[in-house]
Amino acid sequence: MTSFLLGALWGVVGVVVIAGGAVIGVWWERKVAGRIQLRYGPQQIGPAGSLQMLADVPKLLFKEDVVPSGADKPLFKYAPLVVFAPVAAAIAVIPFAKGWAMFDTAVGVLFFLAVPSIEVVAILVAAWAQRNTYSALGGLRAASQMIAYEVPRALSVAPLVLLAGSLRPTDLVAAWRWWWVPLLALAFLIYLISSIAEMNRGPFDLPEAESELVAGYFADYSGMRWAIFMMAEYGAIITTSLFAAATFLGAGWPFDGALGVVALIVKAAALVTLVMWTKWTLPRIRQDQLLRFCWTVLVPAALVQLAIVGVVLPWL
Amino acid sequence: MRIEELRERVCAMYPDLCPLFSIEFGDGTIAVPLERIHSALADLKDMGFDRLGMVTAVDRGEDFELVYRLQSRTLRAGMFVKTMVPRSDPKIPSVCDLWPAANWQEREVYDLFGVVFEGHPDLRRILLPDDWVGHPLRKDYQDERIIRRPDYI
Amino acid sequence: MATEELTLNIGPSHPSTHGVCRLVVRLDGEIVTHVEPVIGHLHRGIEKIAENRTYLQVVPLTDRLDYVGSMYANWAYCRAVERLAGIRVPERAEYIRVIVCELQRIASHMMGIGSSAADTGATSAFLYAFDQREKVIDLFEALCGARLTYNYVRPGGVAFELPDGWIEQCRAFIEQHPSAMLTIDEFFFGNAIARVRLKGIGVLDADTAVAWGVSGPAARGSGVDWDLRRDDPYSVYPRFDFDVPLGSNGDCFDRARIRLWECIESCRIIEQALDQIEPGPIMAEGLPRLLAPRPGDAYDHIESARGSLGVYVVSDGSPRPYRMKVRSPAFCNLAVLPEIAVGYTLSDLLVILGSLDPVFGEVDR
Amino acid sequence: MAVRDERPKTPETVSELPGEKQGLIAGAMSIVKGFSITVKAAATRPSTVKYPKERVTISPRWRGPLALRGVLGRDEIPLLRGPSYAYNELIDDLYKKDRLPPCVGNCPANVDARGQAYLIADNRVVEAYELVRDRNILPGVLGRICHHPCESACKRNFYDEPIAIRPLHRFAFEEYRKIRHERISPFPRTQGKSVCIVGSGPSGLAAAYDLLKLGYRVVMYERERKPGGALNTGVPAYRLPREVLYEEIDDIVGLGLELNTGVEVGKDVPLAKLMREHDAVLLAVGLQQSRLLPIPGTDAEGVVGALEFLWSANFKHEAGVRGKRVLVIGGGNVAVDVARCALRVGASEVKLACLESESEMPCHPWEIAEALDEGVTALCSLGPEEVLTKHNQVVGMRMRSCLSVFDETGRFAPKFGEETTDVAADVIVFAIGQAPKIDQLVAGTELLVSGRGQLVVDGTLFTTSVDGVFACGEIVTGPGSAIGSIATGHEAATSIHRYLQGLPLDGDRVARPVPVYPKHAPADTRGIESSRRRAVMPMADPSERATDFRQVELGLTRQEAMAEAMRCLRCESEVCVGCTFCARTCPDYAIAVERVDEAGARCLTRYDLDLTKCCFCGLCAEQCPTKALHHTGQYELSFWHRDLMVFDKGEMLRPPIGTRATGRDGISPPGCPVPRKEEA
């Protein structure tokens, strides 16, 4: 019973962290994009526009909840929640400090790779529910893309597991040494690229390519339901970055304790910024090119990385 | 190419149409009878007028004046070919076979003037909705939604 | 497995149709098997309205044709009317027209490059281009008080004298513009992703381009060496030294990148024009308020940012044109879309459409 | 220039980038390069503005929604009034502000024709007359003979036909004439000094009026028995009935002028004596002598000068040409006057020969047109070669064809051809210019006279070589118009005033601005409503009028004159007159204007601007003759109700600092750029 209550508590904390992170993330992305594009970004509300989202959230909350008449109503209404839930769940296994995660499980890494992938089902459901050609195309694109990029993503984490000898994220943090960074640079890069593709961010944002598919799989969503999609997207960025910061970049290293958590968050924030920066720097790739890139470049490269780690492992 | 040269070459090709070649506002214009318009345009294309600049019509009351603007890259010249199409039976052969560019242009003339281009692959309205009644650029076009302009200038 | 073609209706309200174009597309998976542009959603009957307006009142209407390059439509129309009415335009006015129209070419091409970039998802390149466009628009605002529909070139000359300090501002702009263009070149056209998105897409060969009446950068991208400024020189263009950039593959990459080099060439022309311009009148003398040219018809064309823009005006001697026809380059260029878009993917279709750079105000008139 | 060398060279083909490589590594490098560019961009200052802090400035030519500055019936137009010594400043000030009406600017004396039309339309005709008389001392006379440069500059030329300013002068005089005795009382003499004016022509009278107004004693001497100078002796009576002239001069006498006629200064009274008696002397003697050409035969019987001919025609109605063939040499206005007079004194045939071609003739086109109507034949492009005589009696003239009159720089340099023609004539009148004759006048004084018999005068200050002696009129300017002479009279009066007050003559004095106005092509009057047309001056029938000296122009009726005055656009007054040209110019018919045209109660009843239709082309404000209609700096045009987008008269007249578009009447929203002061 206590564990259930604790789990519920951590669940609430996780959702709050993700939602709050998404709010800050949206503001930060707008600032980053603004500066890249010779603009200021939000600047009117609060210092440097930082309270902009406080104004946006009520607006989204009070917006009319439009459901297209042709839509499959139950699916349409609940798909956003199913999109958001796995992302929020993924934060549970992230080792924020040495030996501590909300849900410290022995198969944490597997959990982190597998649970967010449920999102693809939700996206397909959302795309289907709208009865809209654009969203259908977007959903199909999303499905093919997310499933394809699961492979390099998993492969890129495998060297970590090899090195640490455990699937428990806290073990990964404990086993981390600084020379992992140069050794696993390629894996880190592959992880980053495939994660970006996984969460449908630019340059791999084909499912929602606004210039082709208007908004892809959430074309007909508006108001808070739409905001949940956005929150899921930003949540994915945050969990991915936190996971990468914790495992590839040594969590709180070189600090311990509370300072270590701060260091972890700073590293994660830097990664989040990098993800955003990538989106605003690069053009969007085409679907066939995207998949070709996955199978001909990323997967072989991940295998090469795995082989390298496998080769050097006996000498460590 | 200067217009006089152009005139000579056109006249050599069509001695009988030579008097109908006029030079006005710096452009050579040849008026061709309706029945010969397609062959004349084909000959001019062979002469080097590789671009069909525009096809349009002017409502001249009893007739529609069809205006073809040809442009040549090799001759470095442009010229007009004009022909009269009777309003009562506005039919003219299409030149889509010579220049595909005529496709949309002729559709536009059909849409706005109601001139039928025979042999056009896809003669439908282009700018106006398919269910539009009338051809607006005809001078006698009436529509109650037209706002009368004031008479004064 | 039984498959079925998917009919997708793109537009008329769609972020990438560059206006209100509707494309009826049949898709086999993501491959386009058939595309039919349905135009006319922005048809305002400008040619019909012009028949009921005086010659001067038509000028603001021409602004609304190609709203990304209003100066061109102004100028083409004014040239036709001047030809018809026998008006001689003062030299200073001709220089000002060349300067504003070359600036307009830059502004319009920034839109063209920017939309090519935005179609491929490179939003930042789009905004870098728009930053340059903004500077041109600011120059136009100082010149005539409007940012989009200028109504600046008038039959007989131009509406306003250059304001004080404008020439210096203009010089400052063309000083920095080529380097900004090279940055975009490196940033967008040099980018590997943009290259795989643009290269070999929507190939238009030279013969098709000529036969379909394609003109402007779209034709020059296919290697059709035809630029009215050089090949049918008008105004004071023969006095300037400039190159006409050409492509060789006729794909989206060439069509988009040719615009970038045309902007750099435009800077060259503007610089020469600013050096050569001399004080003088900007309006032909003794123009009546109501022009009433003698009966007849006149056609004139200029090289707009989209191709050869012609205006055909017929007068019956009254103060209102009897007929005005705009030979719009975007209309002719768009007609070739079904020829070049089939066989590419849906993503490419919109890139191809964007590389033709249609402006639907001009297509639909 | 270094920059030019650095300019990138256009490649042969744009398909390839320089140094381009294929492959994964090159692709990755290009992406890294992309990052470096975005990092650099993020580090530079954004090109947008921080909105509330760095306010957006709007260009002065911004085309915002329209507003009116003033409106008929509510706002008065400024009347151009001022003492003559400050008048130039007033005009110059208006000119610099671009608010000088073209009729005023183009008039040599800057007569306020706009104010005249305003007052006449308001049924204040006598006030109008007095306003005009301030700058144009003889409105009744000039209303008949002036060459009206005002009308040629009138902005109405651009729209349809110019305002009949000159006939309005005449009409105002006719109205004034009825009550003129009530309106005349001598100016109080406030200055102890006296001025003597020699000559009672228009320039002398203008100076006299100014000086009387300033409180000086003015004594005038005239050689002829009647005053008026060239107006009296030279202008044919069919154009100017003498009683008009005498009446107007009587008025000036009534204002305090001491006029001595029949006294020839230099003969009856020596100039030196006048110079001693008076504090200042003004010579306004004009040109007395016709020029002849140095060609053979000019001493023969039958060769006459224009002035002599006109004098005898005017006063004797007989010039010895009855039944004879008259050839007039010259293409100016005097030549046309001579030709028309010759018809009236009985010449059987009148020919006019001039060097210039028909289009270049220096006379006013309407004059030659009237003359041709009456039966004068014009021979153009012919230069006089020799007077053919028989027994010292003129029988004709040999003329040589003239190819061009002016050289490229516009100087007078006639080129003659080979061809000659003989024109038969019994009397030849030379009307090729006049010359001063002042040797008798200046005898016994120290006044300097140039070698060509001309008085040495400063052309801007009108001083002569002797302190206290001034000159004005045609003696300074050469042959010219009456209104030009009047203008010099005002200037000379200013000089005299400053001289007598001990002020420096030039100093802070402002020269009269000479604006250049665009020449308008004759407007296409087809399709113009008759109410917009200019009042037609009734004319005597050409065949009848050519026989006597009755007036040719018959004058406007009261109704016509009022209607004509209402046509005035009150240019540059910034008060909308409801001329409707904005509504007519609008391509979208967004403007509706209505006005009431009743004398004394003229007002604009409606001015609606429909912003839903407005396309912001700016054509209406561009052509607004009064500059009342202007753009505002507003750009945030959002309304909470569609009906608010129709601006009525009250809205149009509101100070344009925040329209109701902003939602708060009259108050700019925070951060809204405030229009510049002069715009507001």
Chains with 3+ CB–CB pairs under 8 A to A are C, D
Q: Among A30-39, D211-220, D259-268, D528-537, which is the least confidently predicted range?
A: D528-537
> According to the model, what pLDDT value does residue D158 have?
82
Min Cα distance B12 → chain D (Å) is 40
C301–B53 C-beta distance less than 8 A: yes
Q: Which residues of B touch C339 (CB under 8 A)?
A: 100
Segments forming the whole domain that contains residue A56: 2-315
**Residue B54: strand, helix, or coil:** strand
Q: Which residues of D touch A282 (CB under 8 A)?
A: 31, 34
Q: What sign does the dihedral C13-C16-C19-C22 (CA atoms) show?
A: negative
pLDDT in tens, D186-232: 888 888 888 898 888 888 888 888 888 888 888 888 888 888 888 88
pLDDT in tens, B32-75: 888 888 888 888 888 888 888 888 898 888 888 898 888 888 77
pLDDT in tens, C176-208: 888 888 888 888 888 888 888 888 888 888 888
Residue A117 pLDDT more than 70? yes
> According to the model, what pLDDT value does residue B19 have?
67
Are the beta carbons of A262 and D19 closer than 8 angstroms?
Answer: no
Query: Which residues make beta-bridge pairs with D455?
Result: D449
Note the Cα A87 to chain centre separation in Å: 7
Are the beta carbons of C278 and C91 closer than 8 angstroms?
Answer: yes
Note the Cα D480 to chain centre separation in Å: 14
Alpha-carbon distance B20 to B10, whole Å?
11
Which of B80, B25, D523, D618 minimizes the C-alpha distance to C81? B25
Residue D679 pLDDT more than 50? no
Note the Cα D204 to chain centre separation in Å: 21
- Residue C20 sits at the chain B interface (C-beta within 8 Å): no
Tell me what the mean pLDDT of segment D357-361 comes to.
Answer: 78
Burial string for C271-298 (b: 16+ CB within 10 Å, else e) reads bbbbeebeeeebbbeebbbbbbbeebbb
Are the beta carbons of A240 and A156 closer than 8 angstroms?
Answer: no
Percent of chain D, pLDDT > 70? 93
Cβ-Cβ contacts under 8 Å for A270 (sequence gap 6 or more): A245
Strands (E), chain B: 21-24, 27-31, 51-59, 63-72, 77-86, 91-93, 116-118
Which of A276, A23, A236 minimizes the C-alpha distance to A117? A236
Residue C59 pLDDT more than 70? yes
Mean of per-residue pLDDT scores for chain B: 82
Note the Cα D175 to chain centre separation in Å: 24
Q: Which residues of A touch C123 (CB under 8 A)?
A: 33, 37, 280
Which of D186, D196, D204, D197 minimizes the C-alpha distance to D251? D186
Query: Which residues make beta-bridge pairs with D608?
Result: D592
- Residue D650 sits at the chain B interface (C-beta within 8 Å): no
pLDDT in tens, C203-224: 888 888 888 888 888 888 888 8
ipTM score: 0.81
Q: Which residues of B touch D528 (CB under 8 A)?
A: 152-153
Q: Which residues of C touch D66 (CB under 8 A)?
A: none
> According to the model, what pLDDT value does residue D404 have?
77
The label of the residue with tokens 């019909």 reads: C48
Chains with 3+ CB–CB pairs under 8 A to D are A, B, C
Note the Cα B9 to chain centre separation in Å: 21
Q: Which residues of C touch B128 (CB under 8 A)?
A: 40, 43
> According to the model, what pLDDT value does residue D664 have?
45
Tell me what the mean pLDDT of segment D355-376 comes to.
Answer: 81
Q: Among A308-312, D414-418, D622-626, which is the least confidently predicted range?
A: D414-418
HSE (side-chain half, CA atoms, 13 Å) at C313: 35
D217 torsion bin: left (phi>0), alpha (psi -120 to 50), beta (else): beta
* Eight-class DSSP state of B120: -
Structure tokens at A166: 């455990």
Band (D676; pLDDT cuts 50, 70, 90): very low
Alpha-carbon distance D630 to D68, whole Å?
6
> According to the model, what pLDDT value does residue D244 have?
86
* Eight-class DSSP state of D65: -
Band (D298; pLDDT cuts 50, 70, 90): confident
C&D contacts, CB < 8 Å: 143
> According to the model, what pLDDT value does residue A128 have?
83
Mean of per-residue pLDDT scores for chain D: 80
- Name the CA radius of gyration of chain D, rounded: 32
Q: What is the dihedral of CA B82, B87, B89, B94, to 10 degrees?
A: 30
> According to the model, what pLDDT value does residue D52 have?
64
- Residue B60 sits at the chain C interface (C-beta within 8 Å): no
- Residue B100 sits at the chain C interface (C-beta within 8 Å): yes
Are the beta carbons of A234 and A26 closer than 8 angstroms?
Answer: yes
Mean of per-residue pLDDT scores for chain A: 83
In chain A, the number of structural domains is: 1
Higher per-residue pLDDT: A18 or D3: A18
Q: Among A162-176, C32-46, C143-157, D539-553, which is the least confidently predicted range?
A: D539-553
Cβ-Cβ contacts under 8 Å for A62 (sequence gap 6 or more): none
Structure tokens at D8: 């990138």
> According to the model, what pLDDT value does residue D354 have?
82
Higher per-residue pLDDT: A126 or B26: A126
D589–B152 C-beta distance less than 8 A: no
Residue D127 pLDDT more than 60? yes
Are the beta carbons of D602 and D562 closer than 8 angstroms?
Answer: no
Higher per-residue pLDDT: D529 or D127: D127
D672 torsion bin: left (phi>0), alpha (psi -120 to 50), beta (else): beta
Min Cα distance D585 → chain B (Å) is 8
- Residue D529 sits at the chain B interface (C-beta within 8 Å): yes
Tell me what the mean pLDDT of segment C232-246 comes to.
Answer: 86
Ranges of residues in chain B whose predicted pLDDT is under 50? none
> According to the model, what pLDDT value does residue D653 have?
79
> According to the model, what pLDDT value does residue B153 have?
63
> According to the model, what pLDDT value does residue D669 have?
40
pLDDT in tens, D632-669: 777 767 776 777 778 888 777 776 555 554 444 444 44
